[in-house]
């Protein structure tokens, strides 16, 4: 998988397109093949100043939508192929 990653706080130059290992869902998690990711002012604040929960390094993008591809143990109410959206 690929993600926009920041290794330190700063301007746009700290963002890099980074190859990462493919994730696997853990207990109570679903794996989603991302179709759309939102990057907004929350991400700009995290990139420039940090704050609670935004220590560097970090992956930017706090909202998205896609389809469930795998379920972790104990997940109920979702199935592979379900369309989902989230933010945090």
Kindly indicate the confidence band of residue 84, based on its pLDDT and cuts at 50, 70 and 90: very high
CATH code for the domain in which residue 40 is found: 3.90.180.10
Q: Please report the sign of the dihedral spanned by the C-alpha atoms of residue 17, residue 59, residue 87, residue 43.
A: negative
Look at residue 21 in the predicted model and tell me its pLDDT: 96
Integer Cα distance of 81 and 68 in angstroms = 5
| 12-65 pLDDT tens trace | 999 999 999 999 999 999 999 999 988 788 888 889 987 787 889 998 888 999
Query: How many domains are contained in the chain?
Result: 1
Per-residue pLDDT, 40: 84
Domain containing 37: what range? 2-87
pLDDT of residue 38: 86
Tokens 């379900």 -> residue: 82
């Amino acid at each position: 998988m690929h993600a926009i990653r920041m290794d330190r706080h700063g301007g746009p130059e700290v963002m890099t397109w980074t190859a990462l290992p493919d994730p696997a869902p853990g207990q109570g998690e679903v794996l989603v093949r991302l179709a759309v990711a939102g990057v907004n002012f929350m991400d700009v604040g995290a990139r420039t100043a940090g704050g609670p929960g935004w220590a560097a390094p970090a992956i930017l993008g706090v909202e998205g939508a896609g389809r469930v591809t795998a379920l972790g143990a104990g997940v109920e109410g979702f199935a592979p192929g379900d369309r989902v959206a989230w933010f945090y």
